[in-house]
Amino acid sequence: MNIGILGAGSWGIALAVLLHSKGHRLTMWEFSPEAAKFLDEKRELATKLPGIIIPPDIKITSSISEMFGVSELVICVVPSQTMRQTLKTAAKETERAVFDGIKGWVMAAKGIEIGTLELMTDVLIDEIPGLGTDRVAVLSGPSHAEEVSRGIPTTIVAASENQELAQLIQENFSTTTFRVYTNDDMRGVELAASIKNVIAVAAGIIDGMGFGDNTKGALMTRGIAEMMRLGRKMGAKDSTFSGLAGIGDLITTCISRHSRNRRMGELIASGLTLKEALGKMTMVAEGVETARSAYALAQKIGIEMPITTEVYKALFEDKPIKEAVKDLMMRETKPEFW
């Protein structure tokens, strides 16, 4: 199968290397012509995936229309807050007939767009002419690029309203080290994938403050409850949040040394401002901007998301961490499930 990857960061490269091992033909698009040329010549992104060599027959291009023109399946992995502009560029530079010939679109970016408060599949359908949910899927789960690229056993979920598309992805992506399950709750998977990054920022704050296992265990459990509450309001299934995209990815992102969102929380807990912390990151911590959009979404639809609220206030209103923790602990007492 001819597969295009929209974005040549660590996750895009990890997926390219994985899919190449299955015999697929890959074309990766990189926004910057200079970066595309560098990757094409060096065949390695040492700053993010040291030691992972991009096979020579994986094509790397900065021409977005070229990537779409040879693709039967497209995987979107550009950062969530640049997704819309990237797709607008694609729509401007690519003929409608080319889009019509693409069998499926796989959304692998995680986040909620600031301003519109839309999920990434909504943004995709907004911007690509003639595209409907029957050709869209979401790929998510506990899957750090650093591990997938090295063949460390990983399990993930492909979610789509079109089960034939989900099964197509399952068949074409699964390997001896990468197991794909299917799911029909695309919205639930996207919400879980987005909000778990916000909870992971909180987990990093906990680590940075020197709190213990009790604290992190409570955070992850109540984080799932918060994600589920949002999902229920938006038509998702509760069971999705108990699966790979929910509790599976949440645990991984909250505890892993690879987690950029957890690392961001640690930097904030050390006393750095948000601007200073962002300056120390080599990769995008999606949980930062998602904290802002998720907080706005909770306000808009009228649900309580106390962890998200305190992360938002710590990041964007300079609320002291100790005060945020105290406010969480001293909230009005409630039943566990409400």
pLDDT tens profile 85-133: 999 999 999 999 999 999 999 999 999 999 999 999 999 999 999 999 9
Q: Which CATH class is domain 2-184?
A: alpha beta
pLDDT in tens, 281-300: 878 889 999 999 999 999 99
**Model pTM above 0.75:** yes
Indicate if 42 belongs to the active site. no
pLDDT surpasses 80 at 279: yes
Enumerate the H helices of 128-185 as residue ranges. 145-148, 163-173
Separation in Å, CA 121 to CA 26, 80, 160, 217, 280: 22, 10, 11, 31, 30
**E strands of the chain, at which residues?**
2-6, 25-29, 59-61, 73-76, 104-107, 136-140, 154-159, 178-183
Cβ atoms of residues 76 and 28 within 8 Å: no
The span from the CA of 280 to the CA of 302, in Å, is 35
pLDDT surpasses 90 at 338: no
CA-closest candidate to residue 308, choices 293, 318, 323, 319: 293
pLDDT in tens, 219-257: 999 999 999 999 999 999 999 999 999 999 999 999 999
Superfamily of domain 187-329: N-(1-d-carboxylethyl)-l-norvaline Dehydrogenase; domain 2 (1.10.1040.10)
Cβ atoms of residues 54 and 92 within 8 Å: no
Q: What are phi and psi of 277, to 5 degrees?
A: -65, -45
Identical fold between 2-184 and 187-329: no
The span from the CA of 52 to the CA of 44, in Å, is 6
What mean pLDDT, rounded, does the chain reach?
A: 96
Residue 267 is inside which H or E element, if any? helix 260-269
Q: What are phi and psi of 180, to 5 degrees?
A: -115, 125
Residue 175, helix vs strand vs coil? coil
- Six-digit token string for 194: 């987005």
DSSP code of 182? E
pLDDT in tens, 27-39: 999 999 999 999 9
* Domain edges within the chain: 2-184, 187-329
The span from the CA of 252 to the CA of 233, in Å, is 25
Q: Which of 110, 196, 233, 237 is catalytic?
A: 196
The span from the CA of 30 to the CA of 12, in Å, is 10
The structure tokens 């690879």 sit at 258
